[in-house]
Structure 1
Amino acid sequence: MVALKVSVQLEDFSAQEEEKCLLSDRRDIGALISFIGLCRDEEPPLSALELEHYPGMAEAEIAAVAKEASLRWPIFGATIIHRYGMIKPGAQIVLTLVAAAHREAAFASAQFIMDYLKTRAPFWKKRHFSDGTEGDWVAPKIEDDLALDRWLETKPPLP
């Protein structure tokens, strides 16, 4: 049985606590991949990045991609936490943890999940600048689409 945890939340998370939960008394895990995405500052300087999501659908879509990862690679578990709301530069946005017996499956699964989150998950980002102005909603980058495409070429399309 693969342990999959998905959360879309306003509050911050503790990667260390989530790692402890995923590893809890397991002796068969040989690799744990941890990815934390942070809100980075840019030019012009940001006061915050506003993240909106489609409640219910975001969780379902992330759960579906986590399930897809567990079908593609022999993993023991994954935890995906994505925040929404006003995120200040330097703050955590997303956590992806993947546990497996071997590093190849853990690394590939984590990359697959993150490539999906960057392009297809129902989240929208808007920049808020330090001078009080707002930017446009941020569009996915072509590089992110190409990163996801490599996974779609090798297996059936995502749900």
Structure 2
Amino acid sequence: MGEAVVVELDETVRERLIRTATSLKAQVRAVLRARIVLAAAAGLSNGAISRDLAVSVNMVRKWRGRFAASGLKGLKDAARSGRPKTYGHLVRVAVVAAATSSPPHPEATWSHRTIAAQVAHRLRHRFGFPGRPDPGRPGPQTAPGPRPAHPPRHPSFLGPCRGRVRPVPRPT
């Protein structure tokens, strides 16, 4: 087996890690990563750190190596793969602002539809975003037309039993 990666800290980084590790408001994962790095800088082995912090050895190995390679930036979450966000920061702020304000007069509470209409109105009015005036109503592109005729139900479609259930023959 290979040796554990050596972690060395300068004073400013050590202070920042101690502040994170003792913080009551920091994310739990950030506190745990800071504790792992501080223990590694103290010279503890991966096994000892994993026992003390009740985590796996692989987790200790991962965060120790990422800190040694990238410093404090290595302790942040890596970018996730997947579909990009559909809406930007402005839309999120507009939704939160609408949901935390009082609803329009006849409404007692917000619904998904009224929040969507309010956000669409605010964004169109403030930033000039194009959009349909009422997202709940069909526009010209979705105008209702004649419905296609369904084929009639013919009795021959049902087969020879004509809708009746036949008993299952029993082997003799």
The TM-score, its normalising length taken from structure 1, stands at 0.25
Task: Determine which structure has more spread, i.e. the larger CA radius of gyration.
Answer: 2
Higher relative strand content:
1
Higher relative contact order (CA 8 A, sep 6+): 1
More helix by share: 2
